[in-house]
């Protein structure tokens, strides 16, 4: 006989889903009976159709409502029950100390990483946000277009501010700031203030910087007025009132009056400084003509627009504005100056114009991703460890079910346990984070947080995240554990499902794939930094001391004295040294076609000894020489890149060609082989050399003997003090200065190294848990094998093989990902290391080794166990 015709299964399932439990039995009976009759009388098709229709027609209130039970149902949220859940959860934690320890440790490590990164990301994203008018504040930046290139400056022409305020009614206020290292003196106290800032009087109107004493309208109005931050006020005046007091400003020691004291600016503000000097000190006192200059760039200009003003409309008026005021100049110098408005809040993270302080939105993304993945690894651990222990707890579940626990009650029990673990991990992670914050600040190079006390909202958020993590990570294990069938479990015929094992293995693979990717990334970063540090730069930077010796005759006198010292080999003066900032000059040079090619070129102002001291190699012509007295006014040296930019095929062709730069005209006398005067992030740009003027060349490079560095240094210092008792001795080592350009990269690497270590650590905790679980599972198998004569080594191999396979798969997944990502990262460098196969091998070996070491904790113990013990229990 054919199989009896069945009604549609889905309809039956639907019925069971919606129908109240006390009705479902007889309703289904009726449905079935009618169906069977109808199959006979009306045929299977019609019967099925009617069946579905009947099921649907049963979706009525009476069928949905459960019958009120005989006994009052305990509410799931009864306090007694919750207390019970927590009590049982706590007992379980205490009972399995090792397991709980691994679980809590892994989770809190992940949470700590997440917390710190969240602090960092929040810090970066809220840059300048404290300004209430931030939405109306724009930076006016300048694009300078010459015949050869376009330069993007963050600064703008000096003449722009006052003209803009006159011409555009949309402008509410204008504030320029310019950081300048300045000498300050008060009696015997003298400080070279690196964070002295020239600022317009509208500073306090545009930005929300709080003035504690003094009038915000006038504090920075008059020349030679100073506003101190609280910190610097304390530094100079201690507890006494600084208002109206005098400090001596600059090398000329001009008396300046303190007209205000302000709160220290927030750390994540672009406007930062220790002492604010009125801008008029410069524009109305030191250089009275500067505000008429359109071709002279300086100061970062911020404009506050009136509310309702349209920045795009304003921007469209700029070309006409520039043409009106600077048209003549631009035509003469064959360049176009364009002005751009950049919203204040976008500058720090999004603007590519070079400024003292800039963040990178990419770093924010990268670290957010790292935080996410570290947390993911930690959660995977949690799921893995909990489900792996299901065997142990299967009996408990069986007994609980047998005495009447509902599935949902059991699930709640397990979720309570996982939330308890994650809350414990949360408290631990807060403690660890609090301890790590100072170190993290140092690592990031920023005062990201002042301490845990200041981060209460963050802690609250993190607590929310911890609860959520506990809930999410607990759901799967709770579901698996609570769905065991009591009969099977209690009979002891318990086997873990293949699906469960596959899932756990898959999760471990994901963990390791993430860890290996981060490890490879770290190795590549390290290789790149190493590559940059050891790269042939084209000049010698070893054992060179750079002293800020001041200009002109003072320096010459100092130089002459110290050159007699035993430890000093040679000395040379210049305004720029490799790794330092250098200016750009509007220059016209004769190119291959005989035309005067105009453009902004990097300038090094050097003395006659510079090329020799720095070991620069001459390709053609000659270096500056004292024998040619015209050299100081009519000669220019260029580098190879400049010769190429002018179209010359060989350096020799450039010799004797004409130049016109910064008031000097004459001929090119020499071509120097390219050397890296900037970091290896960029290619070598065209560079010109000229002899220093008497007012510049403040930097004295002193080459000293490798032996007795300390002695030589202190001798030079005491000489400085006798010659200049009123000035501090400021010096640095050239290699340090140059490598400072890689500080951001080094920080990045250091942060990555830490997170890589963390990721592999958490992954190993997961592996440890899994390994211990599977060895327990196979105790009997191992016993039998040993009885049959297997050696301990072969058993360790057997247990390790499975896990090494997982690491292998993880590697296969991770390697191409890491390769791709790091290729992208290396694109940010003009000179880069190759991604070598050895990096991958190193990462693979490292992760294999770590995994093996982790597994061996368990596997060796299992292999050495006496088989009598494991088999006796049967």
List residues near another protein by CB under 8 A. Answer: 25-34, 36-37, 50, 53-54, 56-60, 62-63
Q: Shortest gap between Cβ of 404 and another protein (angstroms)?
A: 24
Q: Shortest gap between Cβ of 416 and another protein (angstroms)?
A: 38
In the complex with another protein, which residue's Cβ is closer, 6 or 838? Answer: 6
Angstrom distances, CA of residue 251 to CA of 93, 229, 255, 463: 69, 22, 11, 55
User: What is the Cα–Cα distance from 5 to 28, expressed in whole angstroms?
Assistant: 16
Q: How many CA atoms lie within 13 A of 725 on its CB side?
A: 3
Q: Which two tokens stand for residue 726?
A: 């009123």
In the complex with another protein, which residue's Cβ is closer, 38 or 176? Answer: 38
Specify whether the CB–CB gap between 828 and 363 falls below 8 A.
Answer: no
In the complex with another protein, which residue's Cβ is closer, 1 or 456? Answer: 1
Residue corresponding to tokens 């408990």: 396
In the complex with another protein, which residue's Cβ is closer, 42 or 617? Answer: 42
Specify whether the CB–CB gap between 206 and 133 falls below 8 A.
Answer: yes
Q: Shortest gap between Cβ of 481 and another protein (angstroms)?
A: 33
User: What is the Cα–Cα distance from 42 to 557, expressed in whole angstroms?
Assistant: 119
User: What is the Cα–Cα distance from 573 to 563, expressed in whole angstroms?
Assistant: 12
In the complex with another protein, which residue's Cβ is closer, 42 or 866? Answer: 42
Pairing of strands 150-153, 544-548: unpaired
User: What is the Cα–Cα distance from 442 to 452, expressed in whole angstroms?
Assistant: 16
In SS3 terms, 148-163 reads as CCEEEECCEECCHHHH
Q: At CA 451, angle to CA 450 and CA 456, rounded to 5? A: 110
Stretch (H or E) spanning 753: helix 743-777
In the complex with another protein, which residue's Cβ is closer, 63 or 81? Answer: 63
Convert 716-732 to b/e letters by CB count within 10 Å (16 or more is b): beeebeeeeeebebebb
Q: Shortest gap between Cβ of 813 and another protein (angstroms)?
A: 50
In the complex with another protein, which residue's Cβ is closer, 24 or 309? Answer: 24
* Closest C-alpha among 404, 421, 412 to residue 82: 412
* Closest C-alpha among 237, 496, 233, 514 to residue 370: 514
Q: Shortest gap between Cβ of 22 and another protein (angstroms)?
A: 10
Span between the terminal Cα atoms of the chain, in Å: 49
Q: Which two tokens stand for residue 162?
A: 């006052």
Q: Shortest gap between Cβ of 59 and another protein (angstroms)?
A: 7
In the complex with another protein, which residue's Cβ is closer, 58 or 687? Answer: 58
Q: Shortest gap between Cβ of 375 and another protein (angstroms)?
A: 50
In the complex with another protein, which residue's Cβ is closer, 20 or 560? Answer: 20
Q: Shortest gap between Cβ of 44 and another protein (angstroms)?
A: 16
In the complex with another protein, which residue's Cβ is closer, 52 or 826? Answer: 52
Q: Which two tokens stand for residue 805?
A: 């396979």
Q: Shortest gap between Cβ of 455 and another protein (angstroms)?
A: 60
Q: Shortest gap between Cβ of 62 and another protein (angstroms)?
A: 4
In the complex with another protein, which residue's Cβ is closer, 34 or 423? Answer: 34
In the complex with another protein, which residue's Cβ is closer, 34 or 757? Answer: 34
Q: Shortest gap between Cβ of 799 and another protein (angstroms)?
A: 51
Q: Is the dihedral of CA 204, 209, 214, 215 positive or negative?
A: positive
- Fill in the DSSP letter of residue 628: -
Convert 81-106 to b/e letters by CB count within 10 Å (16 or more is b): beeebeebbeebbeebeebbebbbbb
Q: Shortest gap between Cβ of 72 and another protein (angstroms)?
A: 23
Residue corresponding to tokens 């699906």: 499
């Amino acid at each position: 006989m054919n199989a009896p015709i069945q009604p549609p299964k889905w309809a039956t399932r639907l019925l069971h889903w919606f129908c109240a439990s006390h009705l479902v039995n007889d309703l289904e009976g009726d449905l079935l009976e009618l169906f069977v009759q109808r199959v006979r009388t009306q045929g299977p098709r019609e019967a099925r159709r009617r069946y579905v229709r009947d099921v649907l027609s049963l979706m009525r209130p009476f069928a949905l409502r459960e019958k009120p039970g005989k006994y009052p149902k305990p509410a799931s949220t009864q306090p007694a029950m919750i207390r019970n859940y927590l009590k049982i959860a706590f007992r379980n934690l205490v009972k399995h100390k090792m397991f709980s320890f691994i679980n809590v440790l892994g989770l809190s490590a992940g949470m700590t990483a997440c917390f710190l990164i969240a602090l960092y990301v929040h810090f970066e994203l809220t840059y300048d946000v404290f300004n209430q008018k931030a939405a109306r504040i724009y930076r006016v930046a300048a694009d300078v277009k010459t015949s050869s290139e376009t330069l993007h400056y963050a600064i703008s022409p000096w003449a722009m501010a006052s003209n803009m305020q006159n011409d555009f009614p949309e402008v509410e206020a204008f504030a320029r700031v310019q950081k300048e290292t300045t000498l300050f003196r008060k009696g015997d106290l003298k400080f070279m203030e690196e964070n002295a800032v020239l600022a317009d009087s509208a500073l306090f109107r545009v930005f929300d910087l709080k003035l504690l004493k003094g009038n915000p309208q006038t504090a920075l109005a008059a020349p030679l007025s100073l506003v101190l931050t609280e910190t610097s006020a304390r530094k100079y005046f201690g507890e006494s009132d600084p208002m109206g007091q005098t400090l001596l400003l600059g090398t000329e020691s001009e008396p300046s009056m303190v007209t205000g004291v302000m709160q220290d600016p927030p750390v994540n503000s672009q406007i930062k400084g220790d002492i604010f000097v009125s801008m008029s000190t410069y524009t109305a006192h030191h250089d009275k003509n500067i505000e008429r200059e359109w071709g002279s760039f300086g100061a970062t200009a911020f404009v506050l627009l009136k509310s309702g003003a349209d920045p795009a409309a304003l921007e469209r008026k700029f070309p006409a504005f520039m043409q009106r005021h600077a048209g003549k100049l631009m035509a003469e110098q064959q360049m176009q100056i364009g002005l751009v408005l950049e919203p204040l809040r976008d500058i720090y993270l999004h603007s590519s114009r070079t400024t003292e302080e800039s963040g990178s939105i990419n770093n924010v993304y990268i670290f957010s991703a790292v935080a996410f993945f570290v947390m993911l690894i930690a959660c995977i651990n949690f799921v893995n460890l909990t489900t792996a222990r299901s065997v142990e707890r299967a009996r408990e579940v069986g007994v609980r079910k047998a005495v009447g626990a509902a599935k949902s009650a059991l699930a709640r029990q397990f979720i309570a346990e996982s939330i308890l673990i994650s809350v414990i991990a949360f408290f631990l992670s807060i403690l660890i984070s609090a301890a790590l914050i100072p170190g993290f600040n140092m690592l990031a190079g920023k005062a990201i947080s002042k301490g845990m006390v200041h981060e209460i909202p963050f802690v609250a958020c993190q607590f929310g995240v911890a609860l959520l993590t506990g809930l999410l990570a607990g759901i799967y294990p709770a579901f698996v554990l609570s769905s065991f069938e009591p009969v099977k479990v209690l009979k002891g015929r318990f086997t873990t499902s293949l699906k469960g094992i596959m899932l756990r293995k898959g999760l471990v693979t994901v963990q390791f794939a993430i860890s290996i990717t981060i490890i490879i990334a770290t190795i590549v970063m390290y290789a790149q930094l190493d590559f940059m540090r050891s790269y042939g730069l084209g000049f010698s930077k070893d054992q060179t001391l750079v002293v800020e010796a001041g200009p002109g005759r003072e320096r010459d006198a100092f130089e002459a004295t110290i050159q007699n010292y035993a430890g000093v080999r040679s000395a040379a003066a210049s305004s720029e040294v490799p790794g330092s900032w250098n200016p750009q000059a509007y220059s016209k040079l004769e190119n291959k076609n005989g035309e005067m090619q105009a453009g902004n070129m990097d300038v090094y102002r050097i003395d006659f000894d510079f090329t020799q001291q720095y070991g620069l190699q001459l390709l053609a012509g000659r270096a500056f020489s004292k024998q040619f007295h015209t050299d100081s006014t009519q000669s220019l040296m260029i580098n190879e890149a400049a010769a190429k930019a002018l179209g010359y095929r060989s350096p020799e062709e450039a010799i004797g060609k004409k130049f016109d730069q910064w008031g000097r005209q004459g001929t090119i006398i020499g071509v120097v082989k390219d050397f890296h005067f900037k970091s290896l992030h960029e290619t070598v740009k065209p560079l010109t050399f000229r002899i220093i003027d008497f007012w510049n060349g403040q930097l004295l490079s002193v080459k000293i003997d490798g032996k007795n560095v300390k002695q030589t240094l202190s001798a030079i210092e005491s000489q400085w003090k006798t010659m200049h008792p009123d000035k501090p001795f400021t010096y640095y080592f050239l290699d340090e200065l140059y490598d400072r350009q890689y500080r951001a990269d080094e920080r990045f690497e250091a942060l990555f190294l830490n997170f890589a270590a963390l990721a592999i650590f958490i992954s190993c905790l997961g592996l440890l848990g899994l390994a211990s679980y599977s060895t327990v599972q196979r105790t009997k198998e191992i016993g039998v094998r040993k009885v049959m004569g297997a050696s301990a080594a072969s058993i360790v191999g057997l247990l390790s093989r499975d896990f090494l396979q997982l690491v292998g798969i993880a590697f296969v997944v991770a390697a191409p990902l890491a390769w791709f990502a790091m290729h992208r990262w290396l694109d940010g460098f003009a000179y880069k290391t190759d991604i070598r196969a050895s990096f991958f091998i190193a990462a693979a070996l490292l992760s294999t080794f770590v995994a093996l070491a982790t597994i061996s904790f368990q596997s060796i113990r299992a292999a050495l166990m006496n088989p009598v013990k494991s088999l006796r229990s049967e």
